[in-house]
Amino acid sequence: MARGKKQNPFAARKRQKRANGAPERPDRRAEPYKEIERDNAFFIKYYHLQKICDTEEEWTQFLAKIRDNLPTTFRVTGFKDEAKALLNIIKTQLFEEYVRAVAELNELPTEQVERPLCLPWYPNGMAYQLHLTRKDIRRSEPLFRLHNFLIVETTAGSISRQEAVSMIPPLVLNVQPTDKVLDMCAAPGSKTAQLIEALHASPDQHKIPPGFVLANDVDNNRCYMLVHQAKRLNSPCLLVTNHDSSVFPNLVQTVDGSKSILKFDKILCDVPCSGDGTLRKNPDIWLKWNLGQAYNLHGVQYRIVRRGAEMLAVGGRLVYSTCSLNPIENEAVLQRIIKDADGALQLVDASHLVPGLKYKPGMTDWKLATKEVDSVYTSFEEVPENLHTIIRPSMFPLPPAEISGIGLDKCMRVLPHLQDSGGFFVAVLEKRRALNFEKNDLQDLEEPQKMETEAETKDDEEKSTPWGPQRKRRRLHGYKEDPYVFFTEDDADYESIKRFYQLNDMLNKRCLLTRCQTERKKNIYYCSEPIRDLVLHNEKTIKIINTGVKTFVRCENRHTEHPYRLAQEGLQTSNAFIGDSRRIQVERDDLVLLLNCTDPTKPPSTLELQTETQQRCKELGIGSCILKYVDEAFTLFIVGWRGTSSLRAYVDRDETVHILRLLGADLTKFEVNKYEKAKEAAAAAAAAAATTAAVTAATLTPEEETTVKDELTVNLTGTERSVLEDENI
């Protein structure tokens, strides 16, 4: 090789591979994208056998719909005036843009574009279905503004892009602000978010709701997704834990000074399932679906709901849900727990909480089959012995006389073709009295590990070896999380924070906490009193992943007299406790000016503001403050910073866009057209490629030159693809 130093590493590697006789890699760009074949003979045979549809005609509709892509749905979060104002903007400006864009995309006159559908069963008209799939929105340039809207408002916590059917369980759980709520299998947290919203639904009555949500998941990584999702709502009433729900330890509470076992008013068991109701959203399930999944899951689903029933207060409500259509994961689990509860649990009709939702009643007869659905069994006696560890007696329907008393007809089976949604199953249980297998002895609290061992022994007995999941033993202790250090009565920082922000005595300083054991606190969080008690009484038994909303942040600016600034996340809670000395009321134009300043090094000068705002700024010393804006329809509170000669709004980009949208301001500056960006990137890469090619052409052999060109084109398409590929939606 003459020009050793100038070797192109890609070309060298390719040459080497060719010399070693390696087969040529097929050109990825020439390969067409393979659509998943939406078919699975076993799935079709199995559900046809189960008669999940009433007629053959309906079955055909079902099959056609479940093979189709899922339309996009979203809901506006919260019930506050701000949410109503955003809904108004959605119904007018956003849908106008939607119609224009869809007309452009499909080359149709605007009158022929179908308007977004308001989901009739979702309260206050707050949820919508678009006649577009996620892929349509992600991949079509005319829809870039709609895409931007969905991304920004989701991050700002103002909307939630959630599958329509997944909104049902929290609605039928009917959470009230006073409820103690347990979400047993909570990650990634879209339903948890709904539970939190319901808890905060009466802000005038409860500044901080007396109830709380304990959201749990067995998967540690998914717990952090849950924290991320729930954080957008900034609730001080949330605790995230990491446990196996089927052996969730009893928790202690103190009522009037005496300890007792905590029972929950509302419990959501959105259990792990085979997920065949999500085939429209996740077509890859077509490739993997097999009956073994349902047989494997029945046991853990039963154990989770059983533990939930034990932890439920008498008079409380438990919702069992899956995104599976399989009676083994649904009706069979429910009949088993209801039978075991011997009258203590009752299925109830909750259809009035989702008026207009189309569904079918729960099944009262179903069959079991081999994995290939070639042998069908109607009773356990027919099951060959080699399948006895897989197909269990409890999976068969009870005899007709017995099953009719279970009330399975009150369950709701949502099938995709009924209202163009995913498939879903939901059942609501109420607890009439304590269960005969419930352990309410305080001394059991001393031995949480014993419970886990007992449950695992039971699990081993049931484990189905050939198709069974490989259950990992999970460590109860030894996880690593920063400590939860609550303020003491004589906390050194509290008095100065109190003085600076004129905090009133309604704020319980003992609910402030940090995540480090040092004198010099960085972030100060706030949680509600019941959450604090829950943490302090149970931190040795439960793996706490997260709690508290960031409320004060250390910010040492040499000009300010106080080292802690307010955090926007916590303002929703702390606002009620803060006095007038750190507040500025601003008019619309001032607020638009402040929000439009995106360069932190050049904050707006106070001289640019209206005379009254300038006057107020003069009275206010340097430091953190609250900007208050009063509109006809809503009031906003935003964290600000009064600088030496400037005023700034202290909110992130997505929140900024959200507020500007509410104010009806121009958003052009914040618009991201990724297609334009991709074109620019491609042009820049092409220019760079031309330059490099010119240089290499002068130094490489013709063979090397072709190789380099190839590599550059691959890189170019890669760049383009990465800009275009947006996995957010």
Ligand X SMILES: C[S@@+](CC[C@H](N)C(=O)[O-])C[C@H]1O[C@@H](n2cnc3c(N)ncnc32)[C@H](O)[C@@H]1O
Q: Binding-site residues for S-adenosyl-L-methionine, please?
A: 185-191, 217, 244, 270
Q: Closer to ligand X at the Cβ: 216 or 606?
A: 216
Q: How many residues bind ligand X (CB under 6 A)?
A: 20
Stretch that binds ligand X, among 179-187, 362-370, 450-458, 555-563 (CB under 6 A): 179-187
Residue 293 in the binding site for ligand X (CB under 6 A): no
Could you tell me if 622 and 579 are in contact, meaning their C-beta atoms sit under 8 angstroms apart? no
Q: Measured from the CB of residue 322, what is the shortest distance to ligand X in angstroms?
A: 7
Ranked by CB distance to ligand X, the top (closest) residue is 185
Token couple for 649: 């709004």
Residue 245 in the binding site for ligand X (CB under 6 A): yes
CA distances, 551 to each of 329, 355, 554, 564, 566 (Å): 43, 39, 10, 10, 6
Could you tell me if 289 and 43 are in contact, meaning their C-beta atoms sit under 8 angstroms apart? yes
> How do beta strands 345-348 and 212-216 pair?
unpaired
Where would I find the H helices in 405-528? 416-419, 448-462, 494-501
Could you tell me if 241 and 540 are in contact, meaning their C-beta atoms sit under 8 angstroms apart? no
**Binding positions for ligand X, 303-342, rule CB under 6 A:** 304
Question: What are the DSSP calls for 157-204, one per residue?
Answer: TSEE---GGGGHHHHHHT--TT-EEEESS-TT-HHHHHHHHHHTS-TT
Residue 191 in the binding site for ligand X (CB under 6 A): yes
Residue 116 in the binding site for ligand X (CB under 6 A): no
Q: Closer to ligand X at the Cβ: 225 or 261?
A: 225
Residue from 73, 129, 158, 246 binding ligand X (CB under 6 A): 246
Q: Measured from the CB of residue 512, what is the shortest distance to ligand X in angstroms?
A: 30
Stretch that binds ligand X, among 215-223, 374-382, 443-451, 716-724 (CB under 6 A): 215-223
321, 312, 311, 319: which is closest to 451 by C-alpha?
Answer: 311
Amino acid at residue number 482: D
CA-CA-CA-CA dihedral for 167, 367, 387, 289, to nearest 10 = -40
Q: Measured from the CB of residue 276, what is the shortest distance to ligand X in angstroms?
A: 12
Residue 604 in the binding site for ligand X (CB under 6 A): no
Residue 86 in the binding site for ligand X (CB under 6 A): no
Residue 217 in the binding site for ligand X (CB under 6 A): yes
CA distances, 448 to each of 76, 254, 357 (Å): 40, 19, 42
Residues 323, 511, 527, 625: which is the catalytic one?
Answer: 323
Q: Closer to ligand X at the Cβ: 186 or 341?
A: 186
CA distances, 594 to each of 541, 617, 646, 659 (Å): 47, 14, 10, 11
Residue 185 in the binding site for ligand X (CB under 6 A): yes
- Catalytic residue flag (residue 617): no
Q: Closer to ligand X at the Cβ: 189 or 316?
A: 189
| Residue 402 CB neighbours (<10 A) | 11
- H/E element, 514: strand 512-514
Stretch that binds ligand X, among 27-35, 240-248, 594-602, 637-645 (CB under 6 A): 240-248
Could you tell me if 333 and 298 are in contact, meaning their C-beta atoms sit under 8 angstroms apart? yes
Residue from 71, 78, 116, 188 binding ligand X (CB under 6 A): 188
Q: Measured from the CB of residue 248, what is the shortest distance to ligand X in angstroms?
A: 8
Q: Closer to ligand X at the Cβ: 268 or 534?
A: 268
Which 3 state secondary structure label does DSSP give 409?
A: helix
Stretch that binds ligand X, among 74-82, 102-110, 239-247, 410-418 (CB under 6 A): 239-247
Residue 152 in the binding site for ligand X (CB under 6 A): no
Q: Measured from the CB of residue 242, what is the shortest distance to ligand X in angstroms?
A: 9
| Residue 498 CB neighbours (<10 A) | 17
Distance CA 544, CA 137 (A): 38
Stretch that binds ligand X, among 68-76, 183-191, 420-428, 672-680 (CB under 6 A): 183-191
Q: Measured from the CB of residue 87, what is the shortest distance to ligand X in angstroms?
A: 23
| Residue 291 CB neighbours (<10 A) | 23
Residue 272 in the binding site for ligand X (CB under 6 A): yes
Residue from 270, 331, 452, 590 binding ligand X (CB under 6 A): 270
**Binding positions for ligand X, 154-173, rule CB under 6 A:** 166
Residue 608 in the binding site for ligand X (CB under 6 A): no
Direct distance between the N- and C-terminal alpha carbons of the chain, in angstroms, rounded to an integer: 50
Name the residue with tokens 């843009």.
Answer: 97
Residue from 300, 511, 625, 662 binding ligand X (CB under 6 A): 300
Q: Measured from the CB of residue 474, what is the shortest distance to ligand X in angstroms?
A: 9
Residue from 136, 153, 163, 244 binding ligand X (CB under 6 A): 244
| Residue 86 CB neighbours (<10 A) | 24
Q: Measured from the CB of residue 397, what is the shortest distance to ligand X in angstroms?
A: 24
Please give the distance of CA 547 from its chain centroid, rounded to a whole number: 16
Distance CA 232, CA 223 (A): 15
Token couple for 657: 């866009």
**Residues forming the annotated binding site?**
185-191, 217, 244, 270
Amino acid at residue number 282: N
Token couple for 592: 């638009």
> How do beta strands 264-270 and 312-322 pair?
parallel
Q: Is the bond preceding residue 209 a cis peptide, omega within 30 degrees?
A: no
Please give the distance of CA 471 from its chain centroid, rounded to a whole number: 25
Amino acid at residue number 207: K
Residue 190 in the binding site for ligand X (CB under 6 A): yes
Q: Measured from the CB of residue 191, what is the shortest distance to ligand X in angstroms?
A: 4
Q: Closer to ligand X at the Cβ: 84 or 222?
A: 222
Stretch that binds ligand X, among 238-246, 312-320, 496-504, 685-693 (CB under 6 A): 238-246
Residue 187 in the binding site for ligand X (CB under 6 A): yes
Residue 182 in the binding site for ligand X (CB under 6 A): no
Query: Which positions are catalytic?
Result: 323
User: Where does this chain bind ligand X (CB under 6 A)?
Assistant: 166, 184-191, 217-219, 222, 244-246, 270, 272, 300, 304
